[in-house]
Structure 1
Amino acid sequence: MALIGRALLILGLLVSIYGVGASLYGARTGRREWVASGRRAVYALAGLMAIAFAILEWAFLNNKFSFNIVASGSSTTTPTIYKAAAVWATQQGSLLLWVLLLSLWSSLILFLSRRKVREIAPYATAVLLGFSTFFTALMILAANPFRTSASPPAEGAGLDPLLRHATMMIHPPMLYSGYTMLTIPFAFAVGALITGRTGAEWIQVTRRFALAAWLCLGVGIMLGARWSYTELGWGGYWAWDPVENAALMPWLLATAFLHSIMIQEKRGMLKRWNLSLILGTGTMAIVGTFLVRSGILSSIHAFVSDPALNISFVALIGTMLIGSVGLMIWRRDGLRSEARLDSLLSREAVFLLQNLVLVALALVIFWVTFFPLISEAITGTQVSVGPPAFRPFVVPLALILVLLSGIGPIIAWRRVTLRNLRHSLAFPFAAGISALVVLLVVLGPSHGLALAMFSIGSFVIAAVGQEFWRGTRARHAMSGERAPVALLALVRRNRRRYGGYVVHVGVAVALIGVAASTSFQHSHYATLSPGQSSKIDGYTVRYVKPTVEATSAKLSLGAVLSVSKGSHHVTTLDTRHELYPSQDPSLGPIGRFFNGSDESRVGLQSGFTRDIWTVVNPSLQPLQGLISQGDQLFTRLEAQAMPKVAKLPPAQQQAALAPLWQFRDRAIAELVSRYASHPWPVTFLLIVSPLVMWLWIGALIVAGGALIALWPVPYLARLRARSTEYTGGPASMPAREPAGVA
């Protein structure tokens, strides 16, 4: 099967190269049959990569340790559901998943646009197949997932315990879907520049893919944050890690793009800006992929550094940058706007300012993330930076961004009078000021930036609520429908517009959760023995008892904590520290069970107003003497048993060693049981964070709004919208809102 997999990769590379040539030849000569052949090459590539990926999944699910990546990333004791996900936990498997997703999304866009943008599509096909050529060649030459070993081990190393989490089943595929879908508008933008067709056609074809990429990246980012919060044992959900930032930067740029294309569709403005944005966004998607694979910046998420991969990615990113700049310079005369900004008091002005803030955020994050490399290149010394380096810049920009997201929906296109602006802003402004006054009375003036976020978030929610109320009231007056029916009909008829409004509410809610949980969090370490207590933020946390579990797959040292407030019992928390055996024999026959990989199981009680979070960190020092004695004993026993076992037939050797392994397992279980029978003080990290749940609720609202905006408009509604466009309408009240997150 490995041979078939390698053959499929080579065939995929040849198909990609052929497709690039066929598409370019068809575009240059005008021969549609060659263009169609290039498009079918993408379909063929998707089929080949799907079969190759299925073979790799089969190898993981069936413990085929002759495959090198199966031996290094899975084991017989790994649960089946995590064996399936272990494919993309490896460098080689994740590259194969990247090409598979790229080919699937490329096939979908080329099928849907096969009768549209016929001049642009062949060049876009060539660009997409160029990406697949790069990644397929990378697998064949430097990171082949189908490499095998002639002498496979009897047991694999197993999946990293930190990745044995439900969110890891979908977090990487969502990020890769976002990255690969961002290459689609990038490719069509390149095609538009090459052909000189820089109007809104390419935007209309790729808009849904840009929004879907934005949604997938956002979901992937939030799943990663949830994993960090519940798995890593440090109590936070965002550490400004380079790989986290690598996903956030293209998401911010894609957000700017989705807003600015509405201005081009509505007014014919910002052609140069939109093309620059999507070319930069596509390049940042490759930079994000590079950061995960390169290891050039320290990250818990990154793979081990590989010089061959690093050089290849730098060459690709350089080619994309040089090519993008060259195309923009070449077509600069054809990128002039068809209209100019009529007034600073207009929706397009707000969107433009919002774009500038989003790009500024991305640039700040890029600069601080790469500052260690920049400092090393200039001074020869790599300067480390942490979360405090981001906050002075990110927090003020985030406040401005949220404020603009509330102003945008309530201000008209082209121009708005001061009277109408005052009328539109009155209720949201009153809501924001009221929230600020109440919070100042209750919480006091400390944490001013957090209070500002609460106030601005209230402004945004009120502004969007006002828009929904006005639209529902107008429809009710026209149709006589009941309010709930009128609201549903309003959203169904204007899905992109009102879906975007829902997204704005979700972002405001999520950032309120972030502001509260970071500014008003209480945390401290407490070293406790069973029966002892510690106080935090008015809660009493009592260490009830230690817990122990020992299996062949892992050892677990945990604790049960009782949380109360006054005389009222609030919750019981169960937290564990789990140890997974290492395959390194140098650690000792007993010591390797205590010195392999480990993970923390968080004790968490979530609520709408606050989370109570804890993790246990037991010291193994009291067991070290017994572990050393066990290593010495079992080393002697193995030395005595092995010469006799070696004389037996291979089929009988495992049975002959079984009593020794059973004795070893009983000894380990006895060792671990001392944690409960002779408990010693252990250290807990205790945290009380307010409103964390609203971060996750806000993320769900954002996803819901994006799905509303993505949902296809019924055919008859599209016809009505088009007829309204052709008959015209008042400039300040457009008949149809363009797609995007507005």
Structure 2
Amino acid sequence: MHLLAFLLLVASLLFAIGFGAAAALQIWQGRSTLLHWIEKSQMMITTLITVSSFILLWALVNFDFSNYYVASYTSLDLPLFYRVTAFWAGQAGSLLFWAWSVALCGIIFLYTNAYQALSDGTKMWFWMLFLTFIGFFLFLLTTWSNPFLLISPVPADGNGLNPLLQNPGMIFPPPLLFLGYGGFTIPSCLALAQALNRKQPNEGSWTDASRNMILFAWLNLTAGIILGCWWSYMELGWGGYWAWDPVENASLIPWLVGSAFLHTSVIESRRGKLHRTNTFLVALTTISAVFATYLVRSGVVESLHAFGDGGVGTPLLIFVLFFTALSLFASITSKNPNARPMAELFSREGLLLVAAWFLIALGVIILIATMWPVFSKFFTENPQGLDQQFYNKVCMPLAAIISVLLMICPWMKWKGGVKSGIMLGVVTAVFIATGAAMYFAGYQIPVSILAVGSAAGCIAGIVLLFATDPAARNNRAIGAYGVHLGVALIVIGIAFSGPYKKEIQTQISRGETATLEEYTFKYKQLYEGEAREYIFLQAEIDVYEDGKLLGTLEPQRRLYHKFGKNRSFAEVSLIPSLGEEIYSSLLGADANGNITVTLSIEPMVNWFWIGGTLMCLFPFIGFTRFRKSEKVTDAA
């Protein structure tokens, strides 16, 4: 069975190489006679990868420990849900899932009206690039990262799944990220194809043809990052949701580039400008996604989430360099005779472009900082990484400025000038009033005041737009402004929960108390228990606010049977609130029952999750049917 699955991957690789080469030959000959067969090859490749994927799933579900991958990431005591999700727990499985995602996105796009409206020449270029891309991942899967290796003798039980991954918050982010990466492959290949084919007059822009796939990819990337933050907050037990870990950064960089592209693509769709910029930005989104995979799998940087070097690092880096060079060539050499110059800076065009470049600047800074241990090797014998303090000092002001731009931009005209001075004045008044209220309430950090004030102004502006402007009530505008509403709530959550978080780490004896701000924590009892997969200690801590019982915290410390007694895992407990959330993590207990705990106050943290949820839901409203000659309204 596993040999069959591997041979199916080899066959799909041969299909990708063969028909990719056929597409290249047809382009060189100026023909498209094999287009039908090339399209059929994509169906065959997808079918073969799908069958291979289901064979791996079958092995995971049925405890087939003769498969090295199954033995490495499952065990007899692992529940069915986690056995299924072990598919993407390791390097080989996650690469297979990524290849599968790319293949499925290719099939979906093949049967859209947008694809049918393309010229044959653009289709040929698209399939040559797309088959090259998927062929590369199939090459990795059939060489260094084969998920169908066998093990002998067959063990009686597997190693089990890392307990940190046995949480819904970490189960869903990887596949969502891969679906996002796979989704962006379509517009990236299409943009380069149209640029290399010198866009034909009888076909629409690739930005319109791939718009729904762009939204699908972006919302999956967003959902993957938000759920990853929630996992970090709930499972790692350190009281935060973003630690600027290299692998966290690796997923954020494609999101920042993709978000920049979304803003500049509006300028192209609405104003017919920035064609070359958009071609390169959407390709750069996919390039940065592959680079993120390189960071996770090359061993070049150390991370809690990384897989280590499995031999795929060098091929991934070579592919990144090749695809970057190709993207630069296609973008620079493509020309649009109808392109017009940009409007002045203080216009909607200008501010959208500025917001996009701030997003790109954030991505570049995060990339350099993440790779700093590598770069610093050139001038020091003791290379060191940059800590959270650096990221917060550099990135937070830029993020606050982007929030200000989101507040102002809807009230600017496309060609320059203010669309409504009264409305802009109201929004500015909300911004100033919110900042002043924060200052007099004791929240006096300048960046936080700027961020929260602009976020409040952004929310007020969205409400005013929907109330006064009928053009803002179409699906595209609702989707876009709904995402901005989510961004504003996330900004508020970050601006409070980061700099104004209060935390103590303390030891408490049974019956004694600890205090933090106006809260009193009374340690009542310590329990011992055992579940199927682990034993645990659970503390019971009553929380009082100004003498009134607020709730009870029950943090745990777990020892999993398969991971030894020297490695314990936290199970946090919290008292949720839209204001100040109380968070606890049990660090340990001594023989006398005294416990060591981390207790923290997380102000406004739940607005981060609410905003993130809105960012994932509103893009669904923005999906539209493709029309070859459709135009975008100003509100979009």
Name the counterpart of 1:729.
none
- In the alignment, is the contact (CA less than 8 A) between 2:75 and 2:161 conserved in 1? yes
How far apart, in 2, do the equivalents of 1:582 and 1:703 lie? 36
Q: Distance in 2 between matches of 1:160 and 1:556?
A: 16
Query: Do 1:19 and 1:39's aligned partners in 2 also have CA atoms closer than 8 Å?
Result: no
Shift of 1:111: 2.2
Counterpart in the other structure of 1:427: 426
CA separation in 2, counterparts of 1:460 and 1:330?
A: 39
Secondary structure of 2:148's counterpart equals coil
> Which residue of 617, 624, 628 corresponds with 2:587?
617
Mapped contact 1:409–1:501 kept (Cα < 8 A):
no
SS state at 2:539 partner: strand
SS at match of 1:525: strand
1:705 corresponds to 2:618: yes
TM-score by length of 2: 0.95
**What is the TM-score when the length of structure 1 is the normalising length?**
0.82
1:563 equivalent to 2:460? Answer no
Separation of aligned partners in 2, 1:462 and 1:121: 45
Q: Cα deviations across residues 306-351 of structure 1 (Å, max 9, x unaligned)? A: 2x211111111111122222333443xx257621233333211111
Distance, in Å, in 2 between the alignment partners of 1:404 and 1:415 is 15
SS of residue paired to 1:120: helix
| 2:304 aligned with 1:309 | no
- For residues 282-301 of structure 1, the aligned pairs below 5 Å read 282-301=286-305
> Helix, strand or coil: the match of 1:578?
strand
Work out the CA distance in 1 between the residues paired with 2:346 and 2:326. 37
What is the aligned counterpart of 2:179 among 165, 177, 183? 177
Look up the match of 2:447.
449
Task: Tell me, in whole angstroms, the C-alpha distance in 2 between the residues paired with 1:272 and 1:550.
Answer: 61
Residue type of the alignment partner of 2:462 = V
Alignment match, 2:633:
736
CA distance in 1, matches of 2:532, 2:37: 55
In structure 2, which of residues 608, 618, 630 is the aligned counterpart of residue 695 of structure 1? 608
Write the distance in 1 (CA, Å) between the matches of 2:360 and 2:272. 21
> Secondary structure of the residue that 1:154 maps to in structure 2?
coil
1:610, 1:693 within 8 Å by CA — same for their partners in 2?
A: no
User: Is 1:358 paired with 2:359?
Assistant: yes
1:163 aligns with: 165
SS in structure 2 at match of 1:689: strand
Q: Quote the residue 2:217 is aligned against.
A: 213
The residue number in structure 1 matching 2:435 is: 436
For residues 17-72 of structure 1, what are the alpha-carbon distances to aligned partners after superposition, in whole Å with 9 as ceiling and x for unaligned?
12212322344445444112112111111111111111111111111111001111
1:545 counterpart residue number: 525
Report the aligned-residue RMSD: 2.0
Match of 1:588 in 2: none
CA apart distance, 1:551 = 4.3
- CA distance in structure 1 between the aligned counterparts of 2:107 and 2:25, rounded to whole angstroms: 20
- Other-structure match for 1:115: 116
Q: Is the 8 A contact 2:72 2:160 kept in 1?
A: yes
SS across alignment from 1:304? coil
* Deviation (angstroms), 1:582: 3.6
Give the corresponding residue for 1:674: none
**For 2:553, which of 553, 562, 573 is the aligned residue?**
573
Alignment check: 8 A CA contact 2:276 2:332 kept: no
Any unmatched runs of 5+ in structure 1? 476-489, 584-591, 623-678, 726-734
Distance 2:254 2:588 in 1: 40
Paired AA for residue 497 in structure 1? A
Which has the larger displacement, 194-203 or 570-579?
194-203
Question: Does the Cα contact within 8 Å between 2:526 and 2:593 map onto a contact in 1?
Answer: no
Residue of structure 2 equivalent to 1:667? none
The match for 2:348 is 347
Alignment equivalent of 1:511, drawn from 488, 491, 506:
491
Structure 1 residue 415, shift from structure 2 partner: 2.7
Please give the per-residue CA displacement for 1:257-284, whole angstroms capped at 9, x wherever unaligned. Answer: 1111121222221122112212222210
- Name the CA distance, whole Å, in 1 between partners of 2:256 and 2:131: 26
In the TM superposition, what is the alpha-carbon distance from 1:246 to its structure 2 partner? 0.9
2:552 aligned counterpart, secondary structure: strand
Q: Which has the larger radius of gyration?
A: 1
Q: Structure 1: which amino acid aligns with 2:77?
A: T
Report what 2:577 is aligned to.
607
Aligned residue type for 1:69: Y
Rounded to whole Å, the distance in 2 between the matches of 1:301 and 1:223 is 15
Q: Distance in 1 between matches of 2:452 and 2:91?
A: 42
Is the contact between residue 277 and residue 331 of structure 2 (CA under 8 Å) also seen in structure 1? no
CA contact (8 A) 1:272 1:336 kept: no
Aligned pairs for 1:70-109 (under 5 A) are: 70-109=70-109
2:68 is equivalent to residue 68 of structure 1: yes
2:510 is paired with a residue whose SS is: coil
User: Please, which of 151, 154, 157 is the counterpart of residue 153 of structure 2?
Assistant: 151
In structure 2, how many angstroms separate the alpha carbons of the residues matched to 1:198 and 1:393? Answer: 44
* Secondary structure at the counterpart of residue 148 of structure 1: coil
Q: Which amino acid aligns with 2:267?
A: I
Query: Are the counterparts in 2 of residues 602 and 613 from structure 1 also a CA contact under 8 Å?
Result: yes
SS, match of residue 193 in structure 2: helix
**Distance in 2 (alpha carbons) for counterparts of 1:201 and 1:696:** 35
Structure in which a larger fraction of residues adopt helix: 1
3-state secondary structure, aligned to 2:441: helix
Q: Residue 275 of structure 1 corresponds to which residue in structure 2?
A: 279
Instruction: State how far apart, in whole Å, the 2-side matches of 1:198 and 1:572 are.
Output: 66
3-state SS in 2 of match to 1:703: helix
Q: Tell me the percent identity.
A: 30
Separation (CA, whole Å) in 2 of partners of 1:198 and 1:537: 66
1:499 to 479, 485, 500: 479
Q: Which moved more, 1:380-389 or 1:309-318?
A: 380-389
Indicate the SS of the match to 1:570.
strand
In the TM superposition, residue 169 of structure 1 has moved relative to its aligned partner by 2.6
8 Å CA contact 1:577–1:599 kept in 2: the answer is yes
Report the CA distance shift for 1:26/1:111 in structure 2 as closer, same or farther (over 3 A): farther
Q: How does 1:4-43 map to 2 (within 5 A)?
A: 4-43=4-43
Which residue number corresponds to residue 57 of structure 1? 57
Aligned counterparts, 1:658-673, within 5 A? none
Give the direction of change, closer, same or farther, for the CA distance of 1:697–1:114 in structure 2 (3 Å limit): closer
1:463 alignment partner AA: G
* Alignment correspondent of 1:414: 415
Residues 1:337 and 1:401: Cα distance change in structure 2 (over 3 Å): farther
Secondary structure, counterpart of 1:314 in structure 2? helix
User: How many residue pairs were aligned?
Assistant: 632
User: Aligned runs of 1:574-593 on 2, under 5 Å?
Assistant: 574-582=554-562, 592=564
* Alignment check: 8 A CA contact 1:603 1:615 kept: yes
CA 1:462–1:696: 2 relative to 1, 3 Å: same
**405-414 or 152-161: bigger deviation:** 405-414
SS in 2 for 1:520: coil
Amino acid at match of 1:428: V
One-letter code of the match for 1:685? T
- Distance in 2 (CA, whole Å) between partners of 1:336 and 1:375 is 45
- Once the two structures are superposed, residues 465-486 of structure 1 have per-residue CA deviations (whole angstroms, 9 ceiling, x without a partner) of 11111025xx9xxxxxxxxxxx
Conserved in 1, the CA contact under 8 Å of 2:486 and 2:612? yes
1:192 to 2:194 alignment: yes
Kindly provide the amino acid, as one letter, of the partner of residue 423 in structure 1: I
Please give the per-residue CA displacement for 1:494-527, whole angstroms capped at 9, x wherever unaligned.
2112211111111011110111111211100010
- Alpha-carbon distance change, 685 to 242 in structure 1, aligned in 2, over 3 angstroms: same
Q: Which amino acid aligns with 2:122?
A: I
Contact 1:526 1:685 in 2 (8 A): yes
C-alpha deviation, 1:441, in angstroms: 2.2
Query: What is the one-letter code of the residue matched to 2:544?
Result: S
Which secondary structure state, in structure 1, belongs to the residue aligned with residue 210 of structure 2?
helix
SS at match of 2:554: strand
Alignment partner of 1:232 is 2:236: yes
In structure 2, what is the Cα distance between the partners aligned to 1:23 and 1:111? 19
Report how far residue 605 of structure 1 moved.
Answer: 1.3
Q: Could you tell me how far apart the structure 2 residues matched to 1:121 and 1:37 are?
A: 12
Alignment partner, residue 401 of structure 2: 400
SS of structure 2 residue aligned to 1:99: helix
Structure 2 letter corresponding to 1:571:
G
Deviations 1:439-461 (A, max 9, x none): 222225x3222122111111111
Counterpart amino acid of residue 137 in structure 1: F
